[in-house]
Amino acid sequence: MTNLTQSNEQLTMFNTCEFPSYEEIKEAYTKGFERDVVNLRQELKNEIPNTTYLTHAIHNVYPAKFIPQVPRFVIKKFNLKEKIILDPFAGSGTTAVESILTENSNISNDINPITRFLIDIKTLTLNPRDYFIYKNQLNHYIETIFKTNSKFIPKWENIDYWYPENILFTLTKIWAGIYNIDENESHIKNILKASALYLSRKYSYGEDESPKLFKSKEKIIKIKELINKFNEMGEDLMKYELLKKANQYLECIIQFNLSTKREFKKIDSLDNNKQQFLMVFNNSIEKLEQNLPEEMIDCIITSPPYIYAQEYFRSTKIDMFWLDMINDESIRCLTKKEIGQKIKPFCDFSDELLRIESYRSTFETIKNLSLNFKTKENIFRFRSYFNDMLYFVKLSNRLLKKKGILAIFIGEPKVFGYPVKVKDIISEMEIQNNFRIKYTFFDIIKSRHLSKNRLNDNPEGIEGEWLIIGEKL
Ligand SMILES: C[S@@+](CC[C@H](N)C(=O)[O-])C[C@H]1O[C@@H](n2cnc3c(N)ncnc32)[C@H](O)[C@@H]1O
How many angstroms separate the alpha carbon of residue 103 from the centre of ligand 1? 24
**Contact between residue 6 and residue 13 where contact means Cβ atoms under 8 Å apart:** no
How many angstroms separate the alpha carbon of residue 167 from the centre of ligand 1? 32
**Contact between residue 16 and residue 418 where contact means Cβ atoms under 8 Å apart:** no
158/260: higher pLDDT = 260
How many angstroms separate the alpha carbon of residue 161 from the centre of ligand 1? 28
pLDDT in tens, 39-93: 888 889 999 999 999 999 999 989 889 999 999 999 999 999 999 999 999 999 9
Strand, coil or helix: 172: helix
Ligand 1 pocket test target in 62, 333, 339 with most atoms within 8 Å of CB: 339
Q: What local confidence, expressed as pLDDT, does residue 18 receive?
A: 44
Of all residues in the chain, the percent with pLDDT exceeding 90 is 60
**356-361, Cβ contacts within 8 angstroms, sequence gap of 24 or more:** 356/425, 356/428, 356/429, 356/432, 357/8, 357/428, 358/8, 358/421, 358/424, 358/425, 358/428, 359/386, 359/425, 359/428, 359/429, 361/15
Cβ(309) – ligand 1 distance below 6 Å: no
pLDDT in tens, 178-201: 999 999 999 999 999 999 999 999
- DSSP at 78: T
d(CA 208, CA 219): 8
Is residue 183 packed enough to be buried (19+ CB in 10 Å), middle (13-18) or exposed (0-12)?
exposed
- State the average pLDDT over residues 449-459: 48
Q: Which H or E run contains 335? A: helix 328-336
pLDDT in tens, 326-351: 888 888 888 888 898 888 899 999 99
Supply the residue whose CA is at minimum distance from atom 26 of ligand 1.
Answer: 91
- DSSP at 231: H
pLDDT in tens, 232-257: 888 999 999 999 999 999 999 999 99
The candidate with the shortest Cα–Cα distance to 440, out of 401, 410, 417, 467, is 467
Q: Which domains does the chain have, with CATH numbers?
A: 2-115+264-304+339-472 (3.40.50.150), 128-259 (no CATH)
Q: Is the pTM of this model over 0.85?
A: yes
pLDDT confidence tier of residue 419, bands split at 50, 70 and 90: confident
The candidate with the shortest Cα–Cα distance to 208, out of 63, 354, 382, is 63
Ligand 1 pocket test target in 89, 325, 331, 422 with most atoms within 8 Å of CB: 89
Ligand 1 pocket test target in 287, 290, 310, 312 with most atoms within 8 Å of CB: 312
pLDDT in tens, 274-314: 789 999 999 999 999 999 999 999 999 999 998 877 667 77
187 backbone dihedrals φ, ψ, rounded to 5°: -60, -45
